[in-house]
Amino acid sequence: MDYIKIRFGPGLGRQGASAVNRALETVFGNAGPVYQESRAWRPQMDIYQDKDNIFVIAELAGINPDELEVEIDAAAIRIAGRRAEPPRFEGTRFHLAEIPYGFFERIVYLPSPIDPEKVQANLKEGLLVVRLSKRQAQGPTKIKVSGI
C-alpha cells in the first residue's frame, strides 16, 4: 500500500483533528505519507447567472473529456467522471499525496429552470464551462372549463 487512507468522522474540530494528526505522526513518524480521505473527491465549482443564462464552472484538471459525463434536466445538472492516476516511478514513495484520483460526481440544483435544448459545454485548460439558457417565463395559461 502506498498511502494510508483514513476517514475522519464528523465532529472532529480543528483541535480534535490536530490531536489525531499528532497521534498518527507519533505512530507512523514523518517517514510515512500524508493521509488521504477514502471518500470520492468533489471538484470545486462556481455557479452564477445573468439575465438570460446560468453558468456552471467546474475545476477538472487532468480529466480526459472521454471520461466526463454531463447530464441536465430542467432543474439540475450532474457532472461525473474519472481522473486517472498517473503512472508511478518504481522505487519511489509518497511524502505528500493531496491530488485526488478516481471517480467523482456532483449534482447541483440550478437557481432557475433552464431550457435543456439550449446548452453549451466546453472543457479547456482544466475548466469545464457549461452555459445553460434560462427557460423563458410564460404567462398564465387560461383553461376552458366545460360542464359534465
The dotted CATH code for 40-86+94-134 is 2.60.40.790
Query: Mean pLDDT over residues 50-69, rounded?
Result: 93
How much is the pLDDT for 28? 53
Q: What is the pLDDT of residue 124?
A: 92
User: What does the pLDDT look like over 13-23, one tens digit per residue?
Assistant: 444 455 665 56
Q: Where residue 56 falls among pLDDT bands split at 50, 70, 90?
A: very high
Provide the 10 A C-beta neighbour count for residue 114. Answer: 23
The span from the CA of 36 to the CA of 2, in Å, is: 11
Integer CA distances (angstroms), 103 to 25, 39, 46, 84, in order: 29, 10, 20, 9
Mean pLDDT, residues 69-73 taken together: 90
Question: Can you tell me the mean pLDDT for 76-105?
Answer: 89
Among 58, 18, 17, 65, which Cα is nearest to 41's? 58
Query: Which pLDDT score, from 0 to 100, does residue 24 have?
Result: 55
Binning pLDDT at 50, 70 and 90, where does residue 57 land? Answer: very high
Cβ–Cβ under 8 Å, residues 106 and 76: no
Q: Which residues are CB-contacts of 73 (< 8 A; sequence separation ≥ 6)?
A: 116
Domain chopping of the chain, boundaries: 1-38, 40-86+94-134
Provide the grid cell at 25. 505522526
Residue type, 14: R
Mean pLDDT check: name the lowest of 28-32, 46-50, 127-131.
Answer: 28-32
| pLDDT digit string, tens, across residues 24-45 | 555 555 444 444 444 568 999 9
